Amino acid sequence: MTSPPTQRTNPLHLLAAFASGGILTLAIFVNGEAGRFGGAMFSSWLAHGTGTVVAILFLAVVWRGQRAAAAEATGKIGKAPLWAYAGGLCGAVTVMLTSTSVNSPLALAGTLALGLAGQVVLSLAADFWGLLGLPKRKLDLRDAGAVILIAAGSLLIILFGLGAA
């Protein structure tokens, strides 16, 4: 990246991220129902398979623009390293790990809470060191405050909010 990482975040981007969390809620619900029928592995396999088909359909519709954009991006940044294609492996292994812990005394709440901790830890490290080819970002007290408030609120919902008291 030639441009320095911008420190001011666009509120629309933040709103989009918030909305994508809502999309995730839907996906988790649908995939959870698929898991009730056929188990976690089947659910993940189905989601990745149908996802592949849908991605191909999307790409077919907008292929001309996508090809041009990809060529431009490769020209600017260079080809992606081979490991950049391994994101799907992470997702597949994630399902195996969570189906282990959901069926332990941790149950769903414990799995979500610990997963949240893992997410926060690695994203802090990723921004701090600029891991895996993405831009480094300065972290300050405001980030710490946001982490604490959002993690506390989420834990409250996961551990006490879902399910009747």
Partner 1 sequence: MIIPILAAFAAGLLVILSRQVNGRLSMSTTPLISSFWNHFVGFAFLTVVGLVIGGLIPANIAEMPWWIYTGGAIGVVFVAAGSWLITRIGAVNSTLLVIAGQMVFGVIFDLLRGAPVTIWAAALGVVLILAGMWLTQRKR
Report the site for partner 1 in 10-39 (rule: CB under 8 A). 10-11, 13-14, 16-31, 33-34, 37-39
Touching partner 1, residues 81-120 (CB under 8 A): 81, 83-94, 97-98, 100-101, 104-106, 110-111, 113-120
Nearest to 43 by CA among 102, 84, 83, 85: 102
AA letter at 133: G
Nearest distance from residue 70's CB to partner 1, in Å? 4
Tell me how far CA of residue 37 lies from CA of 30, 33, 40, 45, in angstroms.
11, 7, 9, 13
Please tell me the distance from the alpha carbon of residue 47 to that of residue 54, in angstroms, as a whole number.
10
Minimum distance of partner 1 from residue 99's CB (angstroms) = 9
3-state secondary structure of 111: helix
Q: Which of 2, 3, 7, 64 contacts partner 1 by CB under 8 A?
A: 7
In contact, 112 and 103? CB cutoff 8 Å:
no
Of 38-77, which residues contact partner 1 (CB under 8 A)? 38-39, 41-56, 58-59, 62, 66, 69-70, 73-74, 77
Give the per-residue contact string, 118-137, with partner 1 (x = CB under 8 A; - = no). xxxxxxx-xx---xxxxx-x
